[in-house]
Amino acid sequence: MFIKVRRDTLIILILAFILILSGRFMTYTAYASSPGINEGVPISGVIIEGNDIEPTDVIKANVANEGFREGSYIDGDTLVTSKTRLPLNEAITNAEQAATLSAYPGTTMYPITAASITVDNQTGIVTVNVIEDWSSVVVK
């Protein structure tokens, strides 16, 4: 042997190793069993209601462009997105406006006349209620 290690030294080292390992494991267990919310509520999903002919995907994309998308989260009264942080009220107003600008795919028809958005601060679920009214659509 190149290094002379006494047997009791070795035992103590192994003991220390086991201690550290089990200590780390317990910290992980603590993490895994804690509900742990510390950086706000993430936006978990967007539900669109009230549209009929207008495809849901179009409205969803427009609302996502205003920050209500995967990866954003709500911190108190602030919406934090991957690009910016802005007050939640302002984000909701912007997104409501964006929803009314949803065109029918391939055309310039805008059948969504009004939209209201509610954000659940506990679950992070965004519900977009829209009113679709074709009688007010003007084709230019």
Partner 1 sequence: MRNVNIARVLVLFITTLVMMNAAAATCNVIIITDPTGQDPNGAAAGSMSFDSNMFESTFMNSPQDKFAILSGGADTSGASTVVNDTPRLQMIVQCINALKSGATTESAASIANSFSGQRLVIGGPTIGAAIAGTSGNWLIEVANDGTITITPTTGEIGVLPPGTKGAVLHLLHTPGNPQPDNTTAVGLAASEMIGEQIRDGYPATQILANTFKMVASQSGEQYGGGGINLDSGISTEDTFTPSQLNQTGFPMDQPFEKVDNISGWGITYPDADSYTTSPIDNNPLTVVYAYQALEHYITVEPTNASVTTYGTDDPGIIDTTQSVVESSVSKNGFDATLIASDINKAISSGLLIGVNPVEPDDIHILTYTKQVGIYYTPLPNGRTAPAWNLPISSSILDTIGNLQTAIGLIMVVLVLFRSTLISSFSRRRKKL
Question: Minimum CB separation from partner 1 for residue 35, in Å?
Answer: 5
Q: Give the three-class secondary structure for 78.
A: strand
Shortest Å distance, C-beta 71 to partner 1? 9
d(CA 9, CA 54): 75
Neighbours of 25 (CB within 10 A): 10
Rule CB under 8 A: is residue 97 a binding residue for partner 1?
Answer: no
Name the residue type at position 4. K
Write out the binding residues for partner 1, residues 62-81 only, by CB under 8 A.
69-70
For partner 1, which residue of 46, 95, 99, 119 counts as binding (CB under 8 A)?
A: 46
Lookup: tokens for 2: 């190149």
**Is residue 9 near partner 1 by the rule CB under 8 A?**
yes
